Amino acid sequence: MSLVRCDNTEAWGALQAHYEAKGRRFDLRTAFAADAGRFDRFALQAPGVFADLSKNRWDASTRALLTGLAAECGLEARRDAMLAGEPINLTEGRAVLHTALRTPTDAKSLGVVTDAAVAEVHAVLEPLLAYAERVRTQAGTQFTDVLNIGIGGSDLGPQMAVIALEEFRHPKLRFHFVSNVDGHDIAPVLARLDPKTTLVIVASKTFTTQETLANANVARDWFTANGGTDVATHFVGVTTNIEAAAKFGITSTFGFWDWVGGRYSLWSAIGLSLAIAIGADGFRQFLAGAHAMDEHFRTTPLAHNLPVQLALIDVWYRNFHGFTSRSVAPYHQGLRRLPAYLQQLEMESNGKRVDLDGHAVPFATSPVVWGEPGTNGQHAYFQMLHQGTDVVPVEFIAIKTPAAGHDGLYADLHTKLLANCLAQSQALMQGKAPAEAALESPPTASRTIAREVIAEHRGFPGNRPSTTLVLDALTPRTLGALIALYEHRVFCSGALWGVNSFDQWGVELGKALCNALLPRFETGATDGLDASTAGLLTRLRAQ
């Protein structure tokens, strides 16, 4: 499979010329005024997710050039190689097969490797779901609380999804997620739990992660110190390293495979807390939603392929417009952990500076991804989005129908929420000229300042781009589709940039230095340390 790095294509040069000629001065207001069909022209429907791409700074020619870029880079071949189980994670010598985790057994064959992976997946999935159902039948009696101990991909995905799917959760079970190696995280959680009715899931792909093992030790000590007796029933492991889990004393374990990246593992046994929360049928729906998005990604031509088109806009903004970040604004409180989840997915995947051949890339890669649920963000940092010096493309996520029970007393809130969502993307695009602002009466306190000065402060530049994703409702199926959409989008931008989206060597140095520093907290030795680290160690060390 030949992959051409984006800057080694003819399309790249053509895009540069296009940016200089048109892109740099592109004005969304003019574009909408000139084309009554712009909304429809830039709308895409993928399974479970509708996307309005019209408020982006592009036109049909930009889109055609970008789509040409994807074709010239060999994106389709790269996608097919991933789906066929080729070892595209070169630096770790692994296949990348999280899609196999949601492939039904009767799906079309995608080759020997993938078919074998799918068979292995179902050999674990069925017992996993049966176990989840057993826990649910004991909800409220044997089990009242489920505590997931894990970090990174072993925390962010299940936590985000369990929160998002609150409406579908078992009413007699409470869910807790502990990740940080900080007593301030685990202590208040344990203080609320009864060991006799708590199920602890120790989730770690490698079962070597310092934070997770330290917290698991604390949980086990708490369990035995508070009358817990049956570790085998109350502790379950989820890992690819069953041996290490057994050494830790966990006999009940669900496995997965090294071809599942940590940040892509929500669909595997790492999703156990979610499976317990929403049940076997709910989890199957979640997988089915993701599989439908996989099929969209696999079979839809590049020009109509939603993950591809979103990645192309990302490349357009990052590499041509020079925008450094993207803000995600889910207008649904249930999606409040989505930005954190996406930070790992996008920045751990594509925060890379060398290509597959080890050459430093001469262009920017992953943007900073950040955000908060709407409308909260509006009353905090949206000021900067509207009037700051940086242009930050915003991704709005709107859910048409609220959860069941959000009628009556709450019905009005949802309409207000959606109106806010639309108003923000409208305001970002439309802006407001100072001349228009000058017609408004200044606030009383400002009557001493010249009207024009106030008008400048009250003006909005506008032309600030956004994408709006719309889900009909937040269900296991649509959430599965949404997450798979993001995974494939990250794959596409990583492939165009020619980086390995599936390793994470950047987290290793800090881990090694931490291990080297730990004994110094005992001894106080600072020899060989830089002056800053030495000074801080001395200051922080408990005497």
Catalytic positions, written as ranges:
348, 379, 511
Q: How far is the CB of 86 from ligand F6P (least distance, A)?
A: 21
Per CB under 6 A, does 384 bind ligand F6P?
no
Q: How far is the CB of 151 from ligand F6P (least distance, A)?
A: 5
Rounded Cα distance, 95 and 261, in Å: 10
Q: C-alpha angle 242/490/398, rounded to 5°?
A: 105
Amino acid at 375: T
Q: How far is the CB of 7 from ligand F6P (least distance, A)?
A: 28
Helix (H) or strand (E) holding 453: helix 451-458
Per CB under 6 A, does 151 bind ligand F6P?
yes
Binding segment (CB under 6 A) for ligand F6P, from list 3-11, 201-209, 301-309, 361-369: 201-209
Q: How far is the CB of 491 from ligand F6P (least distance, A)?
A: 16
Per CB under 6 A, does 18 bind ligand F6P?
no
Among residues 236, 228, 172, 229, which one has the least CA distance to residue 199? Answer: 236
Sign of CA dihedral 109, 111, 112, 118: negative
User: How many other CB atoms sit within 10 Å of the CB of residue 334?
Assistant: 21
Rounded Cα distance, 169 and 171, in Å: 6
Binding segment (CB under 6 A) for ligand F6P, from list 199-207, 282-290, 398-406, 529-537: 199-207
Please give the DSSP secondary-structure letter assigned to residue 502.
T
Binding segment (CB under 6 A) for ligand F6P, from list 150-158, 394-402, 409-417, 441-449: 150-158
CB-based contact 373:335 (threshold 8 Å): yes
Site mask for ligand F6P (CB under 6 A), range 313-352, x = bound: -----------------------------------x----
Residues 235-264 that bind ligand F6P (CB under 6 A): 262-263
Q: How far is the CB of 370 from ligand F6P (least distance, A)?
A: 19
Helix (H) or strand (E) holding 175: strand 174-178
Q: What sections of 461-530 are H helices per DSSP?
A: 476-497, 508-523
Q: 33 or 513: whose CB is closer to ligand F6P?
A: 513
Where are the strands (E) in 42-165, listed by range?
43-46, 49-52, 145-149
Q: 433 or 517: whose CB is closer to ligand F6P?
A: 517
Site mask for ligand F6P (CB under 6 A), range 495-514, x = bound: ---------x--x-------
Per CB under 6 A, does 371 bind ligand F6P?
no
* C-alpha distances out from residue 236 to 12, 171, 222, 248, Å: 50, 22, 16, 11
The contact set with ligand F6P (CB under 6 A) reads: 151-154, 204-206, 209, 212, 262-263, 348, 504, 507
